[in-house]
Amino acid sequence: MNRRDFDAAKVTRQCATFIKGVIENAKADGVVIGLSGGLDSAVVAALCVKAIGNMKVHAALLPIDTTERNSFKRARELANRLNVDTTYIPLAPHIAPFGFQDRVRHGNISARLRMIIQYDMAKAVNCLVAGTENKSEYLMGYFTLHGDGACDFSPIRDLYKTEVRWLAEYLDVPQEIRDAAPSAELWDGQTDETEMGVTYDQIDEYFYRVFNTRDKLVDIRRDIGADVVKVIEDRHKATHYKRADSPVCFINRGKLK
């Protein structure tokens, strides 16, 4: 990916126009967004403020027991910087009764509870829930169904993680957020890249060259590394169900023979 080909100002205008149009078409009064202290939610929040103004953006700060103090601090400081309305609800007391020992189940219930609260907040103030998922996460299936994968609209789902980083710099997202290791913090020590087994740079180079260039797959595998490509392709294939509509049994209503 070449940064010289990325026009951050143009992308910002397109995203802002999209956000404003979605809100107006839905006759909504604004947006609700879960602020995690991470890059993606920070960029979406900044775009929403540019699109519809800070008075119509409501930030949900929903830390769980494994949320790092620095992450919550970054989220709170960004909300103050953008001058948006905030709602703070610590979720650990609500998750503890489930008693999950399996960290994946614990992470999934945490992500889904966060989204339940965001949708309830949105309903209370006639708003839409903004998604914070980028294209790299989407293609890797790195999201929780009905959790962080749920939303009413997706401002950055067509932007690779690399492009989100470039956009964050243009939008003047604080350096502390831009430098933080990507993590949903759904368990202690969890990071996106460690869990997936590949880096976002590798993911982005692979998918960008597959979808946006005429490079041959054999050359892509040679340049990135066959082992890395296998990890990416295997995960992409295994998570296809997350990107597809739920299968429906369609009934043949003709005369039965």
Q: How confident is the model at residue 257 (pLDDT cuts 50, 70, 90)?
A: low
- One DSSP character per residue, 24-62 reads HHTT---EEEE--SSHHHHHHHHHHHHHH-GGGEEEEE-
- Name beta bridge partners: 34: 60
pLDDT tens figures, 42-92: 999 999 999 999 999 999 999 987 777 788 899 999 999 999 999 999 998
223-231 own/partner pairs: CB under 8 Å, 24+ apart = 228/198, 228/202, 231/196, 231/197, 231/198
pLDDT tens figures, 136-190: 999 999 999 999 999 999 999 999 999 999 999 999 999 999 999 888 777 777 8
Query: Domains of the chain (ranges plus CATH)?
Result: 3-243 (3.40.50.620)
Q: What is the pLDDT of residue 165?
A: 97
Q: How confident is the model at residue 103 (pLDDT cuts 50, 70, 90)?
A: confident
Amino acid symbol at 79:
A
SS3 content of the chain, % helix, strand, coil (to 5): 55, 5, 35
Could you report how far apart the first and last alpha carbons of the chain are, in Å? Answer: 58
In this prediction, residues 215-241 reach a mean pLDDT of 96
pLDDT tens figures, 14-43: 999 999 999 999 999 999 999 999 999 999
